[in-house]
Amino acid sequence: MYQIIVFQGPSGSGKTTLQQKLDVPRVITWTTRPPRDGEKDGEDYFFVSVEKFKSTCESGKMLETTEYKSNFYGTPLEAILEPKYPVQSIVLDRNGASKIKELLKDRCLRVGVYAPKADCEMRLKNRQPSAEVLQQRMADYEQEVSELTDCDLVINNSNQNWSTSGLFIELLRKYLKKQVEQCSI
């Protein structure tokens, strides 16, 4: 039985959208950045101080961490080893996805999500980022797409393929629900 579904792929490919369509609880990760408008502590992220983040890392209680724009992000080991739900989902980069797959092996389904570069750029522009942020996110596109070869399956989430990728996620959701029901019998 899958314990966790990990989504990875380039910015703007639709990872979070597909994760939301999957409709299984998310692993709540930590960040040291301040909350954005509408974000809630414990729902979107656990917003923690740099000191708490670093001390947790130093004590070996973080599975994976990354630094982006002078802020730290990480997945607490406890959230993976002692899950609150039978199946959870998370969006991570290749590094984090690899660590979870290594830890959980066949209990982890690693889903790569990609879309053509033009689709990703258009989706990112719709979020109205600064030109600098847009450029940073698009700069890694080719590298992030090439890393999808490590995934168990890859979804083409192009604008033209939205209905197919959505259908696939719906089938996966039903499969996971059936797995959970069979394990609770």
DSSP 159: G
Residue pLDDT, tens place only, 143-156: 999 999 999 999 99
Separation of alpha carbons 2 and 177, rounded Å: 11
- Number of domain units in the chain: 2
Same domain, 125 and 179: yes
Same domain, 19 and 109: yes
DSSP secondary structure string for all residues of 121-147: HHHHHHT---HHHHHHHHHTHHHHHHG
Same domain, 72 and 115: no
Q: Domain boundary at 82, 97, 128, which?
A: 82
Average pLDDT for 101-127: 94
- Domain interval for residue 145: 1-26+86-185
Provide the mean pLDDT of the chain. 93
CB atoms within 10 A of CB 28: 17
Same domain, 36 and 101: no
Same domain, 123 and 173: yes
Same domain, 69 and 158: no
Q: What is the pTM of this model?
A: 0.90
Same domain, 163 and 102: yes
From residue 98, alpha-carbon distances to 6, 63, 102 in Å are 10, 11, 6
Same domain, 107 and 33: no
Residue pLDDT, tens place only, 119-171: 999 999 888 878 888 888 889 999 999 999 999 999 999 999 988 999 999 99
Q: Residue 185 has what pLDDT?
A: 59
Q: Residue 87 has what pLDDT?
A: 95
Q: What is the CATH number of the domain that holds 65?
A: 3.30.63.10
Same domain, 37 and 60: yes
Q: Domain boundary at 82, 116, 146, which?
A: 82
Contact 177, 37 (CB under 8 A): no
Same domain, 97 and 165: yes
Q: Residue 180 has what pLDDT?
A: 86
- What are the b/e assignments for 45-70, b being 16+ CB within 10 Å? bbebeeeebeebeeeeebbbbeeeee
DSSP secondary structure string for all residues of 59-111: TT-EEEEEEETTEEEEEEHHHHHS-SSSSEEEE--HHHHHHHHHHHGGGEEEE
Separation of alpha carbons 4 and 87, rounded Å: 5
